[in-house]
Amino acid sequence: MTRLFNDPAAFADEALEGFAAAHRRWVRPVTGGVVRAVPTPRGQVAVVVGGGSGHYPAFSGLVGQGLAHGAAVGNVFASPSAQQIRTVARAAEAGAGVLLMYGNYAGDVLHFGQAARRLTADGVPTRTLAVTDDISSATAEEAAKRRGIAGDLPVFKAAAAAAEQGADLEEVVRVAEHANARTRSFGIAFSGCTLPGAEDPLFTVDEGRMAVGLGIHGEPGIGEEAVPSADEAAELLVGKVLAELPEGVERASGGRAAVILNGLGSVKYEELFVVYRRVARLLAEAGVEIVDPEVGELVTSFDMAGVSLTLTWLDDELEALWTAPADTPAYRKGSVERPQDLPDEVPAEADGGTEAVPEATEESRVTGRLVAEALTTVRDTIDAHAEELGRIDAVAGDGDHGIGMQRGSTAAAEAAEHAVAAGAGAATVLHRASDAWADRAGGTSGALWGVILRAIGDALGDSERPTADRVARGVIDASAGVRSLGGAEVGDKTMVDVLVPFADTLAAEVAAGAALAAAWDTAAEAAAKAARDTADLLPRMGRARPHAEKSLGTPDAGAHSLALIVRAVHGVLGTRKQAPAVGGADRK
C-alpha cells in the first residue's frame, strides 16, 4: 500500500514536484509535466510521451537524451488533460513537429487527440501514436483496441532515437508504428495495487492464486490460475508471447528480440532475475536471439505484486534504435555526449496572465451565480460519494473515478466562483469551469465533463436571455458532443447510458411546457433509473471491456456519478425559481 502521502488528491502533483527537484540534471518542470533540461535542438522532432501517475519510471523518468523530449503526467491512473499535454509539447517542440505517444487508454486517446488538434491549429504539426502491446486485452483481429503496458518503452525509444538521428516527423511516426506492430507483452499479478489514501487494493486474488493478463491501472486479470514456481511463471509468460508472432517473424527461424522482464511495483529484483534466467533459456531454445535485455521496474502500477514480459521483434533498423544510447533519470544505455549548455537555474514558466471576462447582461450574470452555486453543490455531492464511486469503478476498472471526479468538480467550483466574482455571465462561468474540470481531472471523465459544461455554456451565452429552452438545447448538445468525442453509444455501459435519456427527457418536458425545475426533476428520475440499469450491461468500451463479466451486477461508475450530479443540481434549481432560466414564464 502507499504509506507516505499528504492529501491523496495532491499526490500526483507533489510526486512530480519532488521528481523534478531531484533530477534537475535531466528535466525541468512545466505545467502538466516535465521537459528536457536542455532545449530540444532546433529542427529536431519532439517526442512527447505521457499518461497517468503511478507508473514510474514511466513517464517522467524517461525524459532525456535518446528518449523522450517531454512527458505529460496526469493524476493517479488518469490521463493528463489536453491543455497539460499541449503545454508540455509547446515547451518541448523545436520547429520540426511533435509526436505524442501514450498507452491507448480511453482518457489518453481523448486528451492526446484533442491536444494534437490544438497544436496543429497553433501551427505545430502534430501526430499521435497509441502503443498497443498487451495481447491479453484484445484479440489479434482487434489489435488496435489493445492497451499499452511495458511495451511503451521500446516503442517510445525507437521513435525518440529516430528523432535524435534527424528523422522528420513522418519518418518518426513510421518508425513508431513499425516498432509498435512488432511488440507483444503479457503480464501476471499476485495482488492488486492500493491507491494513495485507499484502505483496500483495487483487486485481490485468493491465497495461492494469481491474476493472468492484468493491466497496469489496477485492472484485474482476465483469468486466474494457481500461483506457479518462478520457472512455471517464465514458461507461462514466454508461451503466451511466442504464441502470437508479428507479421514477418517466422516461428522456425526465431529471430532477434529486445526483451523486457518488467516488475510492476513490489516484486523484488532478485525475484525478477530468478524468472529471467528461465525466460532467457526458453527464448534461446525457441531460436530467439536476445538483444540488450532489460530486467527491472520500467512501467509499474504502484505496489502491484506482478511481472510482465515484453518482446519487440527486431530488424536491422529497430535493433540500431533499441541499442542507441540514452540518458534519462530512470533509463540509461551506452554513452551520450553531455550538453555543455545546462541552465544554472530551472527557467520559470511564462505567466499567461489573466484572461479578461467578456461583457455580460445582468440576467446572464444572475444565471452565472446560479451555475456557480450548482457546481458547489456538485462538488459537495461528489465529495460525499467519492469512496463509493471508487469502489464501483474498481470492480472492473482502475478505481480512480472518485478521485478524478473530486479533483474535477473541486476545480470547476473554484473556477466558477472566481468567474462570478469577476462579473462573468453564464457562458463564461461554464466555460471556465469546463476548462478547470478537464485540466484537473484528466482521464476520460475529465474530457467528457469538459464537453458537457462547455456545451451548456455555449447554449446559454453571456448576453442572451437564459431560458429553459436554452438549457435543454445545451444538454442535448452536450449529449451529442460526448458521444462524438468518446465514441460511446447507449448500451456500451458508460455515462452515455444516463446522459442520453436525461437529455432527451429534459428536452421533451421543456417542449411540453414544463418549467425547468420540474422538467429537470423528471429527467433526473430517468437518469437514476438508467444508471441502475447499467448494472445489467456488459461494457463494450474503456478499461472495463476486457473484464466485462466482472462488472455484471454493478452499475457503471460514470453513469452513477452523472445521475447523482443531475439530482443534486435539481436541489439547487428547486430553491431558485426566481432565476431567469428557471421560471416557466421564461421557457421561451
CB half-sphere exposure, 578, CA atoms < 13 A? 2
Q: Which of 185, 203, 186 is nearest to 194 (CA)?
A: 203
Query: H helices of 185-326, where?
Result: 230-242, 269-285, 316-322
Give all strands (DSSP E) within 58-182, no chain letters: 70-76, 98-102, 126-130
Q: Under a CB-based contact definition with an 8 Å cutoff, are residues 164 and 155 in contact? A: no
Rounded distance between C-alpha atoms, residue 340 and residue 332, angstroms: 19
Amino acid identity for residue 242 in this structure: L
Q: Under a CB-based contact definition with an 8 Å cutoff, are residues 47 and 173 in contact? A: no
3 state SS of 240: helix
Rounded distance between C-alpha atoms, residue 49 and residue 73, angstroms: 9
Rounded distance between C-alpha atoms, residue 317 and residue 53, angstroms: 32
- Please, what is the Cα angle at 215 between 211 and 220, to 5 degrees? 40
Q: What is the 3-state secondary structure (H, E, C) of 517-580?
A: HHHHHHHHHHHHHHHHHHHHCCCCCCCCHHHHHHHCCCCCHHHHHHHHHHHHHHHHHHCCCCCC
Burial of 285 (0-12, 13-18, 19+ CB in 10 A): exposed
Residue among 69, 178, 217, 385 flagged as catalytic: 217
Is 111 a residue of the active site?
no
Q: What Å distances lie between residue 96 and 45, 126, 157, 586, CA to CA?
A: 5, 9, 18, 54
**530-536 CB contacts, 8 Å cutoff, 24+ apart:** 530/497, 530/498, 530/501, 530/502, 530/559, 530/563, 531/497, 531/498, 531/555, 531/556, 531/559, 531/560, 531/562, 531/563, 533/497, 534/493, 534/497, 534/498, 534/559, 534/560
Nine-digit cell string for 147: 492497451
3 state SS of 16: helix
Give all strands (DSSP E) within 109-173, no chain letters: 126-130
Nine-digit cell string for 564: 447523482
Rounded distance between C-alpha atoms, residue 90 and residue 321, angstroms: 25
Neighbouring C-beta atoms of residue 387, cutoff 10 Å: 14
- Please, what is the Cα angle at 12 between 10 and 14, to 5 degrees? 65
Q: Which of 75, 220, 298, 179 is nearest to 548 (CA)?
A: 220
Q: What Å distances lie between residue 164 and 101, 155, 297, CA to CA?
A: 16, 14, 25
Residues identified as active-site: 217
